[in-house]
């Protein structure tokens, strides 16, 4: 994943060097180039929206269904270029963690109680590399002066690596290895195994503030549109647990059965039958981040 980031950085540097530097006065100490190059780091938080957890009642959209207690630290590094304070591009490498649990619905007595009795949870490390374009709308109305406070829009493409895990008897297990919904089993030819490295589509908003000629700070919210519903290893229906015997190693069968259907931990003796709902494949999973970026302008020249 880091290799892709370095390739993107190299492309941005080459593109920047091809553009001629055009200068005007930024202030009494610095010139301002039409093309600026900025490098920096970000710190912030990451959360997700998956089939697990959620809030009271039926599943809702975005902010209405977020479990804020599942927010975890995130951070990254980036290289950014911006042309004439109007358009920009950047390469970014981000690290974070996400998690969700049906246990948050313990005291909920609405129809969401069914999710509580499902009793599933997960956590996953996230590593993401992306390239994004930026658009600064205020530049359309003020083309002569550099705005010190600049809102902007983001859209891009990226690749991320994840690995959903769940804890059982004090040990964490990589869920993909146990095919908990029969992915790749001959009995379910329509269920394909999911890859742990996939493409995503970041979209977001931000606002930047120029502390000085060389130092910028920005706030951002970035939402990732995904093409997978297995960020949490939950998507479709329960399978016949006997199929674990015919598709997995003997030593993995009992673990797979315990990870696939965990309702027994809350209601001993009760198990879900093949075909009963485990997740909702109609809504893809997603994750998002809030972050503060600190950037250093690399090519602003002194007068």
Rounded CA gap, 31 and 303, in Å? Answer: 6
Tell me whether residue 265 is in a domain. Answer: no
Mean pLDDT of 252-277: 95
Count: domains in the chain = 1
In this prediction, residue 300 carries a pLDDT of: 81
Tell me the pLDDT band of 42, cut-offs 50, 70 and 90: very high
In this prediction, residue 281 carries a pLDDT of: 92
Quote the strand ranges of 108-179, DSSP E.
121-135, 149-161, 165-168, 171-174
Q: Tell me the per-residue pLDDT of 142-197, one tens digit each, with 9 for 90 and over.
A: 555 556 788 999 999 999 999 999 999 999 999 999 999 999 999 999 999 999 99
In this prediction, residue 86 carries a pLDDT of: 85
Tell me whether residue 223 is in a domain. Answer: yes
Tell me whether residue 177 is in a domain. Answer: no
Checking if the pLDDT of 295 tops 70, the result is yes
In this prediction, residue 54 carries a pLDDT of: 85
Tell me the pLDDT band of 2, cut-offs 50, 70 and 90: low
In this prediction, residue 12 carries a pLDDT of: 53
Checking if the pLDDT of 220 tops 80, the result is yes
What percentage of the chain exceeds 90 in pLDDT? Answer: 68
φ, ψ of residue 73 in degrees (nearest 5) = -65, 150
What percentage of the chain exceeds 70 in pLDDT? Answer: 84
In this prediction, residue 250 carries a pLDDT of: 96
pTM over 0.75, yes/no: yes
Question: How many Cβ atoms from other residues are within 10 Å of residue 264's Cβ?
Answer: 14
Checking if the pLDDT of 129 tops 70, the result is yes
Tell me whether residue 41 is in a domain. Answer: yes
Location of structure tokens 């829009």: 153
Tell me whether residue 268 is in a domain. Answer: no
Rounded CA gap, 94 and 18, in Å? Answer: 28
Checking if the pLDDT of 33 tops 60, the result is yes
Tell me whether residue 76 is in a domain. Answer: yes
Checking if the pLDDT of 16 tops 70, the result is no
Tell me whether residue 219 is in a domain. Answer: yes
Q: Tell me the per-residue pLDDT of 72-84, one tens digit each, with 9 for 90 and over.
A: 999 999 999 988 8
In this prediction, residue 213 carries a pLDDT of: 82
In this prediction, residue 141 carries a pLDDT of: 67
Tell me whether residue 276 is in a domain. Answer: no
Tell me the pLDDT band of 5, cut-offs 50, 70 and 90: low
Location of structure tokens 């996230």: 126
Exposure string of 197-220, with b = 16+ CB inside 10 Å and e = fewer, is ebebebebebebebeebeebebeb
Residue-number span of the structural domain to which 204 is assigned: 2-14+21-165+194-230+285-297
Q: Tell me the per-residue pLDDT of 266-283, one tens digit each, with 9 for 90 and over.
A: 999 889 999 999 999 988
141: domain CATH number?
2.40.160.20
């Amino acid at each position: 994943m880091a290799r892709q980031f370095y390739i993107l950085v190299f492309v941005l540097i080459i593109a920047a060097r091809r553009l001629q530097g055009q200068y005007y006065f930024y202030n009494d100490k610095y010139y301002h180039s039409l093309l600026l190059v900025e490098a920096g780091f970000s710190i912030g938080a990451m959360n997700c929206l998956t089939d697990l957890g959620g809030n009271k009642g039926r599943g809702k959209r975005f902010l209405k269904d977020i479990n804020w207690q599942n927010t975890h630290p995130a951070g990254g590094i980036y290289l950014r270029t911006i042309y004439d304070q109007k358009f920009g591009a950047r390469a970014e490498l981000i690290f974070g963690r996400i998690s969700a649990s049906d246990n948050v619905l313990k005291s909920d007595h609405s129809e969401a109680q069914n999710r509580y009795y499902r009793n599933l949870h997960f956590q996953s490390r996230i590593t993401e590399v992306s390239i994004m374009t930026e658009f600064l709308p205020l530049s359309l109305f003020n083309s002569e002066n550099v705005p010190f406070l600049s809102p902007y829009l983001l859209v891009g493409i990226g690749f991320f690596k994840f690995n959903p895990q769940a804890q059982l008897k004090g040990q964490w297990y990589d869920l993909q290895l146990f095919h908990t919904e029969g992915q790749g089993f001959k009995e379910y030819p329509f269920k394909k195994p999911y890859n742990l490295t996939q493409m995503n589509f970041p979209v977001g908003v931000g606002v930047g503030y120029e502390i000085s000629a060389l130092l910028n700070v920005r706030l951002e919210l970035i939402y990732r549109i995904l093409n997978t519903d297995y960020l949490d290893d939950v998507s479709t229906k329960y399978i016949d647990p006997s199929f674990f015997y015919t598709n997995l190693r003997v030593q993995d069968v009992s673990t797979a059965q315990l990870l696939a259907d965990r309702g027994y931990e809350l209601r001993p003796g009760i198990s879900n039958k093949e075909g009963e709902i485990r997740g909702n494949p109609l809504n893809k999973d997603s994750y998002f981040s809030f972050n503060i970026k600190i950037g250093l302008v690399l090519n602003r020249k002194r007068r």
